[in-house]
Copies of this chain bind each other. A is one copy, B any other.
Amino acid sequence: MGMTNQPKLRQRKKLKTRQDLAEAAYALFGKRGFDNVTVAEIAQAADVSRRTFFRYFPSKESVVFPHRMDLIARFRRLIDERDKKENPLRRCRYATLIIAKEYMGDRDRILRQHHIVKSSTGLIAYEYKLDLILEESIAEALTPSRKAKAAQRRRARLIAGVVIGVIRAALREWFAKDARTNLVRLAEKAFDLLDSGLE
């Protein structure tokens, strides 16, 4: 009846449960490492059953990257919003720099996440799977039209793969300095180096 239009109790409960699970997981992973924590323990810490954990997250890995799919979608939209006539590398650079700036603003969360990822090779592989999705997404954004020529598709894929390489290099460098340097500048430098033919 009120005009606040608050979400129903059920919705709020679900959101809280999801958050509780993610927080419990992050606390445990951070303390003992991803591999040394069981889903049962996460569920217990969040006060739900093990079965319920899997209703909120499709796998133990997925709880580590709760927003990655949103990020990938935004990256794609950022490329899309640039002039399609522009140099594709320029378009990717634009999107990368914006996301890089956001990463710097979200430093603490990203750093916690990275600390957890480093603790497990399985998790590293999982993040690679997510990188592949991003790569496909970039390639699609760079493909001029739905019925693009094969050569154009190939070029878009090559560029997407190379851009992923650049992004990963910049991030690695950032993390190597404890995320205390300027990620935007690192990304710019990496793209500059690429523009000059890696000389």
Task: Report A's interface with B, CB cutoff 8 A.
Answer: 87-89, 121, 124-126, 128-129, 131-132, 154-155, 157-159, 161-166, 168-169, 172-173, 190, 193-199
Contacts and interface: CB of A to CB of B under 8 A. Distances in A.
Copies in the complex: 2
Majority-rule SS of A interface residues: helix
Given A128-B125, A129-B125, A161 B155 contact: no
B157 A162 contact: no
A198 B193 contact: no
Contacts of A161: 164-166, 168-169
A130 to B, nearest CB: 9
Sorted from nearest, which 9 A-B pairs have the closest CB atoms? A161-B165, A128-B128, A158-B169, A165-B165, A125-B129, A162-B165, A125-B125, A161-B169, A197-B197
Contacts of A165: 158, 161-165
Given A162-B165, A163-B165, A196-B197, 12 more contacts: A88-B198, A121-B129, A125-B125, A125-B126, A125-B129, A128-B132, A157-B173, A158-B166, A161-B168, A161-B169, A162-B194, A164-B165
A199 B48 CA distance: 54
A195 B193 contact: no
Q: Which of A87, A128, A132, A159: most chain B Cβ within 10 A?
A: A128
